[in-house]
């Protein structure tokens, strides 16, 4: 019987599940010519098969012991969804096997919401191994645990692996989101703080010397052409939040985890897992691909007993949300 030692990796700060607080490429049917995969197939990855559909843990088979010193990638099943490009966000189901024995060591569990990761280079190689694949694909990766997972993650998760142990990883690509809002840019009206963007899309704030507004203010800095957010949706969004006039943010998914969270578009007045009423009002009707700047006065903000860490009671808050998608529930 196969044992499962670990259900998820601590390094992945956010899964695709609903977050209850504030504490790319074009579509294509294959690994397209315009996109360069981070890794190539090889003689070891070609030895692995993984049967079963993408709704359950795969049954991987390969000759043992399998020894692979280089990271190799093999596209086993080709999906027909969006192409995952560098800088995108993808949700994966990961299953890892021992190259020596063939035993299953780790699984996210296909009945879970999976792992949401950024498609950037670096261990653990969850995101970059999916680069240029399509949603609905199954990917085989072989190599050493140290190269694929990284020493820090092996130790942090107390995995039964040494750096030079060969592992076989099966990744099922469940979804793809843009890494940042990609709508048409628009100037903010007077009275809003100035927002400047880093190359990766992370916002920075500059405030005037005027007093903080006392009314809810909303403007789209980028206007997307995707689906419209409705009450009850689970929106996948990057968020940065700061007190009016402050020097540093109190919440910042770009830095805190590097991946967007999922937020229930419903007021805390009607749902314990929703957002403050002002944020809910501001986000309903916005479109996927938009970047929304919100000035949130305290009277439509967080309840006194639910203030995020680092927020002063009664303070006016400023948020930038990058709306990247709507998650199926």
Q: Are residues 134 and 203 in the same domain?
A: no
Query: Strand, coil or helix: what is 299?
Result: helix
Give the count of beta carbons closer than 10 Å to the beta carbon of residue 266: 19
Q: Which residues pair with 172 in a beta bridge?
A: 93, 138
Q: Are residues 81 and 141 in the same domain?
A: yes
146 occurs within a structural domain: yes
Q: Please report, for residues 56, 246, 270, the alpha-carbon distance to residue 315 in angstroms, rounded to integers and kept in the order given.
A: 47, 10, 23
Residue 297 structural domain: 184-327
Q: Domain boundary residue among 153, 177, 201?
A: 177
Q: Are residues 188 and 171 in the same domain?
A: no
pLDDT for position 206: 96
Helices (H) and strands (E) in the chain, counts: 4, 17
Q: Which residues pair with 107 in a beta bridge?
A: 95
171 occurs within a structural domain: yes
Q: Are residues 317 and 194 in the same domain?
A: yes
* Residue 176 CB partners (closer than 8 Å, separation 6+): 24, 81, 82, 83, 84, 88, 89, 90, 91, 135
| CATH number of the domain within which 80 lies | 3.10.50.40
Q: Are residues 195 and 155 in the same domain?
A: no
29 occurs within a structural domain: no
- Calculate Rg over the CA atoms of the chain: 21
Q: Domain boundary residue among 177, 206, 225?
A: 177
4 occurs within a structural domain: no
* Residue 60 CB partners (closer than 8 Å, separation 6+): 48, 49, 50, 95, 97, 102, 104, 140, 168, 170
156 occurs within a structural domain: yes
CA angle 228, 234, 238 (to 5 degrees): 85
289 occurs within a structural domain: yes
Q: Are residues 203 and 169 in the same domain?
A: no
Q: Are residues 81 and 105 in the same domain?
A: yes
Helix, strand, coil percent content, the chain, rounded in steps of 5? 10, 35, 55
pLDDT for position 110: 80
Give the predicted TM-score (pTM) of the model. Answer: 0.88
13 occurs within a structural domain: no
pLDDT for position 4: 38
> Taking the CA of residue 58 as centre, how many other CA atoms within 13 Å lie in the half-sphere pointing to its CB?
26
CB–CB of 278/216 below 8 Å? yes
Q: Are residues 207 and 323 in the same domain?
A: yes
pLDDT for position 323: 98
Q: Are residues 49 and 151 in the same domain?
A: yes
Question: Tens place of pLDDT for every residue, the chain, 329 residues?
Answer: 333 333 445 443 333 334 434 543 333 333 445 788 999 999 999 999 999 988 888 999 999 999 999 999 999 999 999 999 999 999 999 999 999 999 999 898 887 788 999 998 877 889 999 999 999 999 999 999 999 999 988 998 888 999 999 999 999 999 999 999 999 999 999 999 999 999 999 999 999 888 999 999 999 999 999 999 999 999 999 999 999 999 999 999 999 989 999 999 999 999 999 999 999 999 999 999 999 999 999 999 999 999 999 999 999 999 999 999 999 87
Number of domains in the chain: 2
Q: Domain boundary residue among 177, 192, 215?
A: 177
Q: Are residues 121 and 217 in the same domain?
A: no
CB–CB of 8/115 below 8 Å? yes
Q: Are residues 62 and 163 in the same domain?
A: yes
How far apart (Å, rounded) are the C-alpha atoms in residues 128 and 224? 26
Retrieve residue 276's tokens: 């403050």
Q: Are residues 161 and 224 in the same domain?
A: no
100 occurs within a structural domain: yes
């Amino acid at each position: 019987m196969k044992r499962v030692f670990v259900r998820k990796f601590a390094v992945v700060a956010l899964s695709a599940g609903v977050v209850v607080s504030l504490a790319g490429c074009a579509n294509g049917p294959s690994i397209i010519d315009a996109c360069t995969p981070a890794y190539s197939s090889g003689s070891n990855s070609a030895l692995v098969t993984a049967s079963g559909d993408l709704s359950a843990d795969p049954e991987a088979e390969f000759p043992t012991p399998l020894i692979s010193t280089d990271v190799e990638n093999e596209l086993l099943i080709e999906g027909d969804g969006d192409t995952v490009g560098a800088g995108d966000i993808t949700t994966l189901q990961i299953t890892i096997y021992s190259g020596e024995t063939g035993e299953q060591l780790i699984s996210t569990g296909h009945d879970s919401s999976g792992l949401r990761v950024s498609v950037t280079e670096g261990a653990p190689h969850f995101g970059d191994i999916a680069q240029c694949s399509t949603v609905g694909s199954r990917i085989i990766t072989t190599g050493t645990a140290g190269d694929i997972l990284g020493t820090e993650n092996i130790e942090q998760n107390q995995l039964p692996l040494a750096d030079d142990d060969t592992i076989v990883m099966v990744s099922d690509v469940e979804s793809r989101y843009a890494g940042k809002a990609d709508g048409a840019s628009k100037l903010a009206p007077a009275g809003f703080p100035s927002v400047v963007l880093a190359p990766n899309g992370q916002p920075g704030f500059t405030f005037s010397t005027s007093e903080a507004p006392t009314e809810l203010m909303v403007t789209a800095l980028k206007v997307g052409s995707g689906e419209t957010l409705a009450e009850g949706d689970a929106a996948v969004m990057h968020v940065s939040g700061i007190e009016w006039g402050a020097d540093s943010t109190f919440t910042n998914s770009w830095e805190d985890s590097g991946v967007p969270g999922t937020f229930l578009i419903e007021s805390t007045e009607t749902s314990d897992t929703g957002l403050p009423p002002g944020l809910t009002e501001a986000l309903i009707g916005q479109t996927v691909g938009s970047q929304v700047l919100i000035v949130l006065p305290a009277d439509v903000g967080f309840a006194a007993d639910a203030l995020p860490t680092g927020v002063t009671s009664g303070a006016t808050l400023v948020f930038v949300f990058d709306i990247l998608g709507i998650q199926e529930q």
